Homo-oligomer: A and B are copies of this chain.
Amino acid sequence: MSTLLNLPKYIESVVNPSQLKGMSNDELAGLCASLRHDLIDSVSKTGGHLASNLGIVEITVALHKVFETPKDKLIWDVGHQAYIHKMLTGRKERFNTLRQYKGLSGFCTPVESEHDAFLAGHSSTSISLAVGMAIARDQQKQKHKVVAIIGDGGLTGGMALEALNHLGHIQKDVVIVLNDNEMSISENLGGFSQYMKRIKETFFYKDIKEKLDLIEDGLERERLQAGVWELISSVKKEAKARIETPGIVFEKLGINYTGPVDGHDVKAVVEAFSRVKELKGPQLVHVITQKGKGYAPAEADSIKYHGVGAFTPEKVEPAQVAKESKAKTKTYSHVFSETLIRIAEEQEDLLAITPATAEGSGLVQFGKVFPERFFDVAICEQHAATMAAGMAKSGMLPVLSIYSTFLQRAMDQVIHDVGILNLPVIFGIDRGGLVEDGETHQGVFDIAYMRAIPNMRVFAPKDGRELQNMLYTVCKERSGPAAIRFPRDKALNVDSEWPLEEIDLSKWETLVEGDGPVLLAFGSMVDVALSSATELAEQGVKVQVVNARSAKPLDHEMLNGILKNADRKVITLEEGCLTGGFGTAVLEYAASLKLKTPSQRLADVVCIGIADHFVEHGSRSKLLDLNGLSSTKVSEKVLNFLS
Contacts and interface: CB of A to CB of B under 8 A. Distances in A.
Interface of A: 75, 110-111, 117-119, 121-122, 125, 128-133, 135-137, 139-140, 156-170, 189-195, 198, 248-249, 252-255, 349, 351, 372-373, 375, 377-378, 380, 382-383, 386-396, 398, 405-406, 408-409, 411-413, 415-417, 419-421, 439-440, 445, 448-449, 451-455, 569, 577-580, 583-585, 587-588, 591-592, 594-595, 598, 601, 604-607, 612-614, 637, 640-643
A595 B606 contact: yes
Contact of A393 (B118, B255, B377): B118
Nearest to A196: B252
Number of copies of this chain in the oligomer? 2
19 contacts: A110-B393, A128-B387, A135-B351, A136-B390, A136-B396, A139-B373, A157-B158, A163-B380, A166-B380, A169-B193, A191-B254, A192-B253, A248-B248, A382-B409, A445-B452, A448-B580, A452-B580, A580-B580, A594-B641
A395 B255 contact: no
A361 B485 CA distance: 38
Contact of A637 (B168, B578, B595, B643): B595
A349 B157 CA distance: 30
A588 B592 contact: no
Given A128-B387, A139-B396, A253-B249, A411 B351 contact: no
A383 B165 CA distance: 10
A442 to B, nearest CB: 10
Nearest to A122: B416
A377 B166 contact: yes
Given A131-B387, A191-B164, A125 B416 contact: yes
Nearest to A190: B165
B391 A136 contact: yes
Contacts of A389: 118, 128-129, 132
A584 B583 CA distance: 11
A409 B252 CA distance: 27
A137 B598 CA distance: 54
A394 B140 contact: yes
Contacts of A135: 351, 375, 387, 390-391, 396
